[in-house]
Structure 1
Amino acid sequence: MKELSGKKLAAEIKEWCIDEVENLKAETGSSPHLLVLQYGEDAASKAYTNRIAKNCENIGIEFEYQQIKDDPESFLAILKNANQDPKITSIMVQQPLPDELKDSLEMINPKKDIEGITSASLGKLFAGYDTLVPATAEACMEILDYYNIPLKGQRAVVVGRSNIVGKPVSILLQQRHATVTMCHSRTRDLTAELQNADIVVAAVGRPKLITAEMLTGNSIVIDVGTNFVDGKLIGDVDFDSSAEKVKMITPVPGGVGTVTNQVLMRNIVKSFKNLH
């Protein structure tokens, strides 16, 4: 088994971002500026925001955080103003959102949509146009490329059909000429699908859903799962047993998530360029 660590790749993307931000400051006199907008007091969202803030600080990206409680109109007003403010070049809206604000994600200017979650961004991805891609989906592709894993003609199974990972990564794989099968909670025989796959992308959000018995010795496994069980971060794949069997596998932590953090920073740099 070869472990597909994301640490060196993440470090390379980080260095690119640092250099690029320094160049942009020299050329334009300004730097990328991220606004993170949160509604309510979800602790996990707050913790994620703190990690983003630290990454921005390390790279030289300006970071701004606003938290709104029990005032939907103020939340929408801030989002509208951020779209129009030339200083703010990137926008993130933290989830979960209450039902009355879920449609607010569609308000984000696609050029500032660093998570690639608006229908405009996803539509461009589907149609094959240049756009900001959801960071986790792109991180999966970065790992496959970093380890020179061929995609053309390969059979890929994506487990999970979310708009931020499963669906976009399936499109990215198809664009690289892989033959993609989408699986989910209603797939009749998941094991049969997985054992027919060269590449498995697990992005369903269920700890250790995929076990060694469901995989083959030739499986290349990209585990997107980030599940906390008894205070420990584990993936959607049972790593300990699967690592002894499969050809290649990403660890959790230290795999896709590590790369995702820096791909998001790169998207912030790209959004600045889109607007300048």
Structure 2
Amino acid sequence: MQELNGKPVAAKIKAAVQAELQQIKKTLSKQPNLLVLQYGNDQASKTYANRIEKNCQEVGINFSYEQFNKNPDGFKQRIRTANLDPEISAIMIQQPLTDNLKNSLELISPSKDVEGITSASLGKLFTGLSGLKPCTAEACLEIINYYGIKVTGKKAAVIGRSNIVGKPIAMLLQQADATVTICHSKTKNLAAEIKAAEIIIAAAGKAALITAEMLSSNSIVIDVGTNFVQGKLVGDVDYLNASRKVSKITPVPGGVGTVTNQVLMRNIVKAFKNINLNNK
């Protein structure tokens, strides 16, 4: 079994981002500025924002964070003003959001949508146009490419159909000439679908959903799951037993999530360049 560790993949992306930022500093007198907006007091969201801030500091991206409570109209208005602010080149909205604010994601300007989650960004992905792509989906492909895994002609099963991970990674794999099956909670005989696939992307959000019995010895498993069980972060795959059987597998933690963090940094730089350099 080969462990597909995300740390060297992330380090490679981080180094490229830092080099690109150094080049930008020679051309422009400013640097990327990320605005993170949060509505409510969800502590997990705040912790994630702190991690993003640390990553921004390490590569040289300006970071600002604003939190709103009991003011949905003010929250939406802040997104609109951020879209128009030339000093802000990237916008992120922390989730979860209250029901009355879920559509506020659509207010983000596509040029500043560094998570690639608006319908405009996803539309470009699904039609094969250049744009900002969902970070986790791109991170999966970065790991696959880094470890030299051939995708062309392979059968792939994506477990999960979210707009942030499942559907985007299915599209990226399809564009790389894999034959993709998207599985979900209503899929009949999930085990058979997984067993038939050579590449499995586990993105259902359910701990240990995929067991070793569902996998074969030639399975390549990319585990996107982030589940907390008794205070411990685990994936969607029963790693302990699956790793004894499969050909290749990502760990949790230390796999996709590690790479996702640096893909986000790359997207922030890409958005900044599109706004300040490519449009001139």
The answer to whether TM tops 0.5 is yes
Amino acid at match of 1:274: N
Identity %: 61
Q: How many residues align?
A: 276
Amino acid at match of 2:244: E
Match of 2:177 in 1: 177
CA RMSD of aligned residues (A): 0.6
Match of 1:136 in 2: 136
Match of 2:117 in 1: 117
Match of 2:68 in 1: 68
Match of 2:246 in 1: 246
Deviation, 1:73, is 1.3
1:195 aligns to what SS in structure 2? helix
1:74-125 CA distance string (max 9 Å, x none) = 1111111000001000000111111111111111010100000000000000
Unpaired segments ≥5 residues, structure 2: none
User: Structure 1 runs of 4+ off > 4 angstroms?
Assistant: none
Amino acid at match of 1:93: I
Counterpart mapping for 1:1-276 below 5 A? 1-276=1-276
Amino acid at match of 1:18: Q
Q: With the length of structure 2 as denominator, give the TM-score of the two structures.
A: 0.98
1:190-226 CA distance string (max 9 Å, x none) = 1100110010000000001000000000100000001
Amino acid at match of 1:46: K
1:115-164 CA distance string (max 9 Å, x none) = 00000000000000001010000000000000110111000000000000
Cα distance between partner residues in 2 of 1:235 and 1:105: 27
Cα distance between partner residues in 2 of 1:99 and 1:218: 43
Deviation, 1:26, is 1.7
Cα distance between partner residues in 2 of 1:12 and 1:219: 26
Amino acid at match of 1:36: V
Deviation, 1:172, is 0.2
Cα distance between partner residues in 2 of 1:22 and 1:31: 10
Deviation, 1:47, is 0.5
Q: With the length of structure 1 as denominator, give the TM-score of the two structures.
A: 0.99
